[in-house]
Amino acid sequence: MSLNSPAGNHHTNVTMADIAQDLGVSPATVSLALRNRPGVSEETRQRILQTAYRLGYPVESVQARAHPAGLNSIGLILKTHHDDELRTNYFYAPVLAGIEAYCREQHINLFYAHLQVDEDNNPVEPPRLLKEQQAGGLLFVGILLNEAALRMIERQSTPLVLVDAYAVHDVYDAVVSDSEAGAYDAVSYLIAQGHRHIAIAGSLPHSYPSIQERRNGYLRAMAEHDLSPVFMDCHHHREEALPAAHQFLPAHPEVTAVFSCNDEVAIAVMEAARSLGINVPDQLSIMGFDNISLSQHVTPALTTMRIDKMGMGRLAAQLLLNRAAHPEMGQVRSVIRPSLVERESVRPYSS
């Protein structure tokens, strides 16, 4: 969602009553929304703000008094792919819920924008919110910021925090998961269950940083036990993982367990195994990563590594507020360690 309010183009004769009449709400509701007061739903607040911007009401002057940190609006820029917006929702919906909850508590306006990315999460076009300069702070979610995007950001000096996101210049505050440690723990768990031929699915030699870290964690755990790595290389999306698993599983009958770099890949491997007549977990144990909501509803329910996604969102919004209030503080990187969720897709190995 984007709001268009050209700077210096306000109409001083526009009143709250005009906004209320345009929307069919009471002037009191408009007043509460513009002053960031409780008692107005987030949907109504956003409608009122959009209308205020459109009519030229001086929203900035109202919002400037609203928060002591001076951060009254946050732009949330979430990745999307040209062919599938839903794939981002599995992991990021709880992250966004955490951000929304914190902004609501702090009476901060939250604006959404989608940024199209390629298979490696690099932006393919400049973020619109950056060009329109509407937000006092920015949260980039699930994106690898390239040189072009960083040049645009640096010109504006807008405080920002990366949320499960990365930049080619590592100088920004960030909230990420400890993907390498989580993967190491996941593979160590499979080894403790007696598995020795363990494949990794859903990564490439040069993947998105968090996926690369999971690959590194897998390799470290395998090396510590003198086990040979086995790779089912592909991007970490179902549409690539499913055909890759159909080819990989018959070619590697020795593999008794698969560590997947996310739950989406794990569920695709499970689907391929079923179509090939391979029983999960009796013949093949499958391990996921992320603990998306779907993971507990598949059959068998997926053993995976949980990331506190809602906590990640709340922490990112808090960090951005702190950065806006204290722009000279040192760089902060908050790391959330995943935890094991045991369900039914992993079974101890038995020859």
Asked if residues 221 and 187 have their Cβ atoms less than 8 Å apart, the reply is yes
pLDDT at 86: 46
User: What backbone phi and psi angles, to 5 degrees, belong to 319?
Assistant: -65, -40
CA pair distance 94, 96, nearest whole angstrom? 5
CA pair distance 244, 280, nearest whole angstrom? 18
pLDDT at 119: 72
Mapping DSSP to helix (H, G, I), strand (E, B) and coil, where does residue 57 land?
coil
Asked if residues 160 and 77 have their Cβ atoms less than 8 Å apart, the reply is no
pLDDT at 60: 52
User: What backbone phi and psi angles, to 5 degrees, belong to 199?
Assistant: -100, 155
pLDDT at 102: 92
Tokens, residue 8? 């210096």
CA pair distance 289, 292, nearest whole angstrom? 8
CA pair distance 244, 90, nearest whole angstrom? 21
Enter the pTM of the model.
Answer: 0.77
**Residue 144 CB neighbours (<10 A):** 21
pLDDT in tens, 134-143: 678 899 998 8
Residue ranges of the chain with per-residue pLDDT less than 70? 1-12, 36-37, 59-70, 81-89, 120-122, 126-134
pLDDT in tens, 9-45: 444 577 888 888 899 888 888 877 877 667 788 788 8
Residues 6+ apart with CB under 8 A from 200: 214, 215, 218, 229, 230, 231, 232, 258, 259, 260, 261
Amino acid at 233: D
Residue ranges of domains in the chain, CATH in brackets: 1-66 (1.10.260.40), 179-305 (3.40.50.2300)
CA pair distance 263, 289, nearest whole angstrom? 5
